[in-house]
Structure 1
């Protein structure tokens, strides 16, 4: 299933590594929610990507954007990710069910080598406070993700120009 821009996203409740729960419907950002789906602790490219988000997290907050990163990793793996990666301020969610990931239109891979048996490929969703999709980037592998610095500039443009969500036709 593909979620079209300007339509409501599925709801999402997920446990966080700080032993709390995050629910999409409880989010009330000034402008957007940035939902980042990463492959899991096994992915060195995800580590770099999440660390870049951590580096720019205050800029997202200044722009009225709530950020969360989630994966299908177990609680143990997600907590190890939080402890071992430089992502101290980034909310990290775990146990995102594969079935729910499919509802979001995400790609699922079968593990090779040291990877989990199955895991979710990366995605990024920009969601309005009313839980409608503004934009998404859905990947089939860890490469070719939106650059964080470019994403921040895009958010500035969107807000300054009141640029509408596109791709809904």
Structure 2
């Protein structure tokens, strides 16, 4: 697990638009938000990412770069991008399970029609220097932070110059 105020591992991830997203190349005004999702098999992820699509401009207006990442294969991720209403979200795929463990994400073993292994949800808000500012990690598909709450929190953080917490 990476504590707040600690530097994250660098992250290079392939996107469905055939480009590579690199954390080290991000230069947001305020933050980068990484949204790790379970994959195409997850209806809760579909709902969450479609909600993100509808509020994406609110993140952009606040100087926040956004990317959503799963361990899905390229083929599955491209189907996800095509079938879900998430056309403006940079969608990464092929996130290695070993890397996910470094980020402190929970890993599940697939049941029924799920992939063999996949990450459980995680939301990371990083400073422009790629240190953890805020993280929310789930062991289940349920109980994810609502984007309106995240946005309200960010508004307060920016207004009050509130420091990252949980580092001790």
TM range (shorter): over 0.9
Give structure 2 stretches of 5+ with no counterpart. Answer: none
| 1:59-111 deviations in Å (ceiling 9; x for gaps) | 00000000000000000000000000000000000000000000101110000
Q: Which runs of 4+ in 1 moved over 6 A?
A: none
Alignment of 1:4-153 (within 5 A): 4-153=3-152
Q: Kindly state the Cα deviation for residue 9 of structure 1 after the two structures are TM-superposed.
A: 0.6
CA–CA separation in structure 1 for the residues paired with 2:116 and 2:2: 26
CA–CA separation in structure 2 for the residues paired with 1:84 and 1:131: 31
Q: TM-score, normalised by structure 2?
A: 0.99
CA RMSD of aligned residues (A): 0.4
Partner of 2:150, secondary structure, is: helix
CA–CA separation in structure 2 for the residues paired with 1:59 and 1:118: 33
Partner in structure 2 of residue 158 of structure 1: 157
Q: Kindly state the Cα deviation for residue 114 of structure 1 after the two structures are TM-superposed.
A: 0.7
CA–CA separation in structure 1 for the residues paired with 2:119 and 2:5: 24
CA–CA separation in structure 2 for the residues paired with 1:97 and 1:78: 14
CA–CA separation in structure 1 for the residues paired with 2:71 and 2:87: 19
Q: Kindly state the Cα deviation for residue 112 of structure 1 after the two structures are TM-superposed.
A: 0.5
CA–CA separation in structure 2 for the residues paired with 1:67 and 1:145: 17
Partner of 2:162, secondary structure, is: coil
Partner of 1:134, secondary structure, is: strand
Q: TM-score, normalised by structure 1?
A: 0.99
